Structure 1
Amino acid sequence: MDAGIENHAEYYVHELSSPSATGLCAEMLGVADEACRAGDFDLAAEIYTSQLAELEHTDRGLLLRKADALARGGRIADALDSYCIAANLQALRPDELQILVEVIAHTIRTKEHSDIKTISVASTSESRCFESDEIDEEQNLDLFSCYLCKCLLTEPTSLVCGHTFCKRCLEDDLVKECRSCRLKTNKSPRQFSVDGLRVNVIISGLIGKWFNSESKARRYWSEGEGLWKKMDLSNAILKFNTAIELEPCECRLLARRAELFMEMKNFGQAIKDADTMCRLRPLWPKAHYIKAAAFRSAGRNEEALQEYFCCLALKSDWIAVKLEAQKVHQYLFICKCQSLCGKSPLPAGPSSRIKPSFLLNLWLVVQTSLSLSLSLSLSLSLFFSLLTLFPDNASSCKTLPTFSGARQVPSQLLDSADFECSLCMRLFYEPVTTPCGHTFCLKCLERCLDHNPNCPLCKENLSEYLATRAYNKTLLMEELLQRYFCDELAERRKVHEEEMTELSNLNLEVPIFVCTMAFPTIPCPLHVFEPRYRLMIRRSMETGTKQFGMCIADELKGFADHGCMLEVRDVKFFPDGRSVVDTIGIARFKVLCHGQRDGYHTAQIEYLEDKKVEGEELTELVKLHDSVYDQALGWFTSLKDDMKNQIISHFGHLPVKESDPQGNPNGPAWCWWLLAVLPLENKAQLTILAMNALKDRLVAIRRVLIFVTRKRPR
């Protein structure tokens, strides 16, 4: 490498003696030369940079010295920038790249062993090329693309998790789980079977309406894939041809037809399709890969190698392609091994032209050659040829075009009527798709399944779906609503929130469960099976109140004028929709107005509180309270063990006597415990529940205790 510097010395002396070099500091240049000899190439590069900045006109010789210093310091990318600027001033000669050649040669020698080992371990089959490339394609997916095949959804099928894929993709996918959220099969075994897949009716209709031509092309494409699997290649190509007539710019479709042409040994047509892809999407690595594969199959190895370089310039970590390029290079090594000053390895003709934008990725080409251990003369000759072919464009292509495959829905085809729930006839809110493919508002579907486990439209049995309670929103439908009908959705959400606010008002309209007596502080387990009460319990949970009223029945009014508010502590659902609800009493109320809503009773209420007393009345109240408590404790203690155990298992132990009987607005907890366990009729219990004076309630309880004590057989 030192010999190379000496050979360049005479050239630099000549260059620096030119008029453009006036203003250079010879002393600083001497320091830079000394730094290079000492191995401090970064310092040398800094000096050259500062000297260049002081010049009115860029000095080409100094640029080359800076580039050589950067190259020797291992900063290949920065060195290439300087070489490109020098090439703009005057086309580079092979001898001017001597330092770069020697640096790369040295790097290749030191990296060859480890990098070849990495390539051989990292890739064992050509199929991995496509797997690597697919990762980059995810950024180009839009709402209407299938996550699996990356193409327009065909026969869109929504899983119970809420994600939507092509039906054929799900049928072909060997992993029986959602590829987006990894929902396992044991949560929805039927839908992950081929027989259980149903097309989403709404989404399928929308895609057919919005993207009619592409949708038809996808169907022909899908049919062609099916024929290809059966090795009916002649009919398969006819399907692909029809699809491409409908969508001539669909690059993935062109890619598949090119691969089919290669299987049919029609390499000329495969190259044409690949060339079309490269024109449509010049920055798509897979397009260049298929073109390289077509060239290679046709025996045009030099052009194949060029396309492999394009692949690696766009995707430098594509190891499988590096391996393919290495194989081609090994074939070409003997006939293409030549010096930099020899003929360029680029073949003549239009097919060999490289776009100027490719220059921005030249440093990737050189880095690729290092890890490939390609022929030094071949890789550097390619690099030199590119520089000299396009010296005027090396610094002008600063912005590369970007591909955007996002589909746009024609505004004239947008109609909110396409997004109406068939049950409530309003815009979908929290859309959910059943395993049979029909979509409803979540709340609408739940109400229907309360009454009948069948789909409201096709009547298919949904018992298994009901059992899982996997009512997940269909994400694609939700996203479409947010994107195209955001105002209508906002209004729909407002209506829903107003309904929830109304339902959560526990004074104006309290849901009433008409069943049994309930008391403050006392647990009240419920078995809910009627559709109206399923809805009522679900709403109490959705609004966040987790409360409803409990009243006994009344023949005239429907339910009694007094009751107890219950709070839900836990709900356990059964597969058939029934549930066991664990509640506890929290407050008494008086009914002001009876009503109904969606099949269940409601009421306007006011809460009851005990009137407090003071002075002598309080003293007498405390005395009465303690006396009745002792009487109650004596009665409970006298019961037989089996009866006591039964009461304790259901209601718990008798609460302790409270020091302040007026501390709770509903009175002492032991009073309600006693009322719940005493053998009293509901009407008698209701009378005591309605009392708002603790003294009256204690007197009534004492009478009951006296009665049951006398009545009990000795």
Structure 2
Amino acid sequence: MSLNRLDEEYALEKRGRFFVASDTQGNREGEANVDHHELILLKADALASENRLKEAVDMYTMALRYDPVRPDQLSALVGCVLRNFKKKTEESPIKTERQHESEFDCPGCLSFICEPVTLTCGHSYCRRCLQQNALSKCKLCNEDIRTRPGEPRLNVIVSGLLEKWFPEDARRTKSIGEAESLLKSKRYEEAITLTSKLIESDASNVWVWECQAEAHRELKHFPQALQDWESCLRIIPSPERYFRKAKILQEMGCVDESLQVFLQCLALDENFHQAKREVELILHDLLSPACENVKVGLRETTQNTATHLRSKTLFAEDQEQQTQIQVQSATHAASSQPPLKTLEKPGRSESLQQSGLSTAHSLHVPGISRTIEEGLKRVDSSSQLSDPDKGAPLKRKLSEEGEGVTYSHGSKYKKHDETDSIATPVVKEETSPRVVPPELLDPNDFECSLCMRLFYHPVTTPCGHTFCRTCLERCLDHNFQCPLCKESLQEYLACRKYTVTQVLDNIIQRHLSGEHSERLKLHTEETKELSDLTKNVPVFVCTMAYPTVPCPLHVFEPRYRLMIRRCMETGTRQFGMCISDTEKGFVDYGCMLQIRSMHFLPDGRSVVDTIGGKRFRVLSRGIKDGYSIANIEYLEDTKVNDVEELGKLQVLHDQVYEKARKWFQKLENRFRNQILQHFGPMPEREGDIQATPNGPAYCWWLLAVLPVDPRCQLSILSMTTVKERLIKIRHILTYLQIHHRV
């Protein structure tokens, strides 16, 4: 059967009839080698990808009747069902998640954050959330947190403060840990006793409910376990919790309800592969024939029909009448089934039968897709979906997901005698935020152990210790170890994410506002002092630098790391460059450098791309934190106002420019290429040679590339007239041409 014929038949089938074209001898011979089963699956996948659910279900049903189909081959159908499900849940939102409001609550589980762990993004979570792998991304900034190496370490400062301020909450958190230990040691009854006491005092902790749910599940108390998972979902919905609730429903044989919850899990996380696999298995069971010997190949059906019909033959009318009778009989048979035994754990096929599914009646007919389509309208109908006495086939219930979804977390499986015995738990919401006792608030608890001052921009290392950001950076300039515990911070240094610890910074600003204002004022004064570009200007003692000429630097000494960092933090992005002097430390003249970009290496070194700016003369020298500083005054060329003198200066300028151009062109290729690579091409001739305070740019480019002693270059740098500079450069070029030196 060709794809063209399948398209033709489905065009007819959409009008309510299924036609089978009459075969000819030629057609049968041409189709001898066609894989009909594969063609049907391809067509079904195409229909599912186009959200044509009714037709897709028909095709998958035919494929299953024709030959076996693996559950994973129904992934396109799962996607189609999920898209319909999500579309309707968006129209009727399930539940608005409780927002993270207090700095003392974990953003992940919204419970008290007694064991805080600070991530590289600066946000803190309880250690239990990270140990349980409950999160893949930070809920506050969406940063990926799965790459965090090793065991989560407690934030030492924050953990100590919370235990001091909220001892009752701290004890309750430790009790939850004890309950989890009881659960691991299989002492389930004791775990339930302890969690029940914890719930009485605070029912808003999701981990207590999870621990109790797992204990009930291990004891086969499925109704109680289901109640606990519903309580978890009321506090904070998550794909993992929906999945666990669905598994409990499966254990109880409520396959129809479990399918809904699996879809709810996938609606939150489409990449939850375990849930997708379960949905594939349920759909596979749903669409499969009642038994293996009922398979009817489409090719055989076509051939049998072709012997009676020479043209297209309509045969769906009788079948549709048969379908209606069979579905009615299936519904009547299901309604007479005994009530569901919730504490039994049947197999998958038995569960389907207990849920009112009769695959022999509902799927062994060509017109079943209409049942699927109509059925996608009732996924939220508690009475219709959950009451096994109604007996509607699961396939119809699956298909009823298309309209009016209003999902409820409440249990819908219970029998009437169970409703009274198991009360629905009420999750208590926090009515008032935690308040720090004023008598326990001590500014000394917020003191950096390096600078002995109040934390300013506190950052927390992977080992759990907290320092001011600037203090930590200065320490890491010298070694890669934590200043307190000496643990290696090489990986932390390589990523260079010194993000402020938000919970600690918020506490300081909110509860120590006066001290924080004083600390901020002090920092502002220090920054203003460092921003002055005439007094205490940082000086890099290294090499000659010239205006407009690039000067790349490799910064590796701790003192210069600090100096460059301060230039970036203050926003000036400038520092002076001078060559060394044996007597004074550095010479009297230099050039300011403007930082254009920086590239950090994993070990803390950096490659800094700079370009020359203003020239300066040193007035006085000093030392600050290991690097040189100076008070300076800037140099500018004296302008020529006389017209005759300016004309002579222009002639001199043109002569020197032409002489320099010829010298550069006569260089060997290897030298010329090196110059081009490091300094770029020679600047173009300028129309106004007095337009800038430093004169023509090509003079400084020549001075940088000419093989001249640095002292000679320094003398030219200090000149304040263009004429003097041009005459000196002409002498150097003449000397090089005479002696043929490169």
Bin of the TM-score, shorter chain as denominator length: 0.5 to 0.7
Partner residue, 1:700: 728
Matches of 1:330 and 1:634, distance apart in 2? 98
CA 1:505–1:322: 2 relative to 1, 3 Å: same
Partner residue, 1:618: 646
- Pick one of 106, 126, 132 that aligns with 1:172: 132
Deviation, 1:504, is 1.2
Matches of 2:380 and 2:682, distance apart in 1? 81
Matches of 2:652 and 2:211, distance apart in 1? 95
CA 1:229–1:182: 2 relative to 1, 3 Å: farther
- Pick one of 475, 487, 496 that aligns with 1:460: 487
Q: Any gaps of 5 or more consecutive residues in structure 1?
A: 1-117, 287-318, 334-366, 379-400
Deviation larger for 486-495 or 460-469: 486-495
SS at 1:454's partner residue? Answer: coil
CA 1:256–1:575: 2 relative to 1, 3 Å: closer
Give the 5 Å matches for 1:562-581.
562-581=589-608
Matches of 2:205 and 2:639, distance apart in 1? 83
When Rg is computed on C-alpha atoms for both structures, the one with the higher figure is 1
1:206 aligns with 2:161: yes
The answer to whether the Cα contact below 8 Å between 1:140 and 1:404 also exists between their aligned partners in 2 is no
Give the 5 Å matches for 1:650-665.
650-665=678-693
Give the 5 Å matches for 1:315-326.
none
Partner residue, 1:153: 113
Give the 5 Å matches for 1:580-591.
580-591=607-618
CA 1:479–1:624: 2 relative to 1, 3 Å: same
Matches of 1:459 and 1:251, distance apart in 2? 36
Q: Deviations over 1:71-92 (max 9, x none)?
A: xxxxxxxxxxxxxxxxxxxxxx
Deviation, 1:263, is 5.7
- Pick one of 216, 229, 236 that aligns with 2:171: 216
Q: Which runs of 4+ in 1 moved over 4 A?
A: 241-245, 247-267, 283-286, 319-333, 367-370
Partner residue, 1:678: 706
Matches of 1:440 and 1:666, distance apart in 2? 45
Matches of 1:405 and 1:554, distance apart in 2? 68
The answer to whether the Cα contact below 8 Å between 1:511 and 1:601 also exists between their aligned partners in 2 is yes
CA 1:254–1:511: 2 relative to 1, 3 Å: closer
SS at 2:733's partner residue? Answer: helix
1:227 aligns with 2:182: yes
Q: Deviations over 1:349-408 (max 9, x none)?
A: xxxxxxxxxxxxxxxxxx9999x9x9xxx9xxxxxxxxxxxxxxxxxxxxxx99524211
The letter of the residue matching 1:498 is E
The answer to whether the Cα contact below 8 Å between 1:140 and 1:406 also exists between their aligned partners in 2 is no
Give the 5 Å matches for 1:148-297.
148-173=108-133, 175-184=135-144, 189=147, 191=148, 193=149, 195-237=150-192, 239-240=194-195, 243=198, 247=201, 259=213
Matches of 1:404 and 1:568, distance apart in 2? 53
Deviation, 1:649, is 1.8
Deviation, 1:637, is 2.4
Higher helix share: 1
Matches of 2:205 and 2:721, distance apart in 1? 83
The answer to whether the Cα contact below 8 Å between 2:204 and 2:235 also exists between their aligned partners in 1 is no
Matches of 2:520 and 2:736, distance apart in 1? 57
The answer to whether the Cα contact below 8 Å between 2:592 and 2:612 also exists between their aligned partners in 1 is yes
Partner residue, 2:715: 687
The answer to whether the Cα contact below 8 Å between 1:220 and 1:242 also exists between their aligned partners in 2 is no
The answer to whether the Cα contact below 8 Å between 1:520 and 1:586 also exists between their aligned partners in 2 is yes
Deviation, 1:606, is 0.6
CA 1:713–1:156: 2 relative to 1, 3 Å: closer
The letter of the residue matching 1:654 is M
Matches of 2:474 and 2:672, distance apart in 1? 42
CA 1:324–1:207: 2 relative to 1, 3 Å: farther
CA 1:658–1:265: 2 relative to 1, 3 Å: closer
Matches of 1:484 and 1:137, distance apart in 2? 28
Q: Deviations over 1:167-187 (max 9, x none)?
A: 1211111554434433235xx
Matches of 1:410 and 1:668, distance apart in 2? 69
Deviation, 1:240, is 3.4
The letter of the residue matching 1:200 is N
Matches of 1:209 and 1:140, distance apart in 2? 22
The answer to whether the Cα contact below 8 Å between 1:632 and 1:674 also exists between their aligned partners in 2 is yes
Matches of 1:368 and 1:520, distance apart in 2? 71
Q: Which one scores higher on RCO, CA 8 angstroms, separation ≥ 6?
A: 2
CA 1:455–1:265: 2 relative to 1, 3 Å: closer
- Pick one of 525, 533, 536 that aligns with 2:563: 536
Matches of 1:471 and 1:559, distance apart in 2? 34
Partner residue, 2:475: 448
The letter of the residue matching 1:147 is P
Partner residue, 2:676: 648
Matches of 1:321 and 1:571, distance apart in 2? 57
Matches of 2:406 and 2:687, distance apart in 1? 86
- Pick one of 705, 711, 714 that aligns with 2:739: 711
RMSD: 4.3
1:139 aligns with 2:139: no
Give the 5 Å matches for 1:308-707.
404-615=431-642, 616-707=644-735
Aligned pair count reads: 492
Deviation, 1:265, is 7.9
The letter of the residue matching 2:512 is F
Deviation, 1:259, is 5.0
SS at 2:596's partner residue? Answer: strand
The letter of the residue matching 2:606 is S
TM-score, structure 2 as length reference: 0.59
The letter of the residue matching 1:213 is E
The letter of the residue matching 2:173 is R
The letter of the residue matching 2:731 is R
Partner residue, 1:338: none
Deviation, 1:621, is 2.0
Q: Deviations over 1:182-206 (max 9, x none)?
A: 3235xx83x2x4x342111111111
Identity within the alignment, %: 47
Give the 5 Å matches for 1:25-40.
none
The answer to whether the Cα contact below 8 Å between 1:142 and 1:406 also exists between their aligned partners in 2 is yes
The letter of the residue matching 1:669 is A
SS at 2:572's partner residue? Answer: coil
CA 1:328–1:706: 2 relative to 1, 3 Å: closer
SS at 2:617's partner residue? Answer: strand
Q: Any gaps of 5 or more consecutive residues in structure 2?
A: 1-80, 238-376, 392-404, 417-427
CA 1:402–1:224: 2 relative to 1, 3 Å: closer
The letter of the residue matching 2:121 is C
CA 1:691–1:170: 2 relative to 1, 3 Å: same
Matches of 1:576 and 1:474, distance apart in 2? 23
Matches of 1:534 and 1:239, distance apart in 2? 55
Deviation, 1:657, is 2.1
Deviation, 1:223, is 2.2
CA 1:321–1:261: 2 relative to 1, 3 Å: farther
Deviation, 1:507, is 0.8
Matches of 2:388 and 2:740, distance apart in 1? 107
Deviation, 1:262, is 5.7
The answer to whether the Cα contact below 8 Å between 1:177 and 1:184 also exists between their aligned partners in 2 is yes
Deviation, 1:592, is 0.8
The letter of the residue matching 1:640 is E
Deviation, 1:704, is 1.5
Matches of 2:176 and 2:669, distance apart in 1? 79
The answer to whether the Cα contact below 8 Å between 1:510 and 1:548 also exists between their aligned partners in 2 is yes
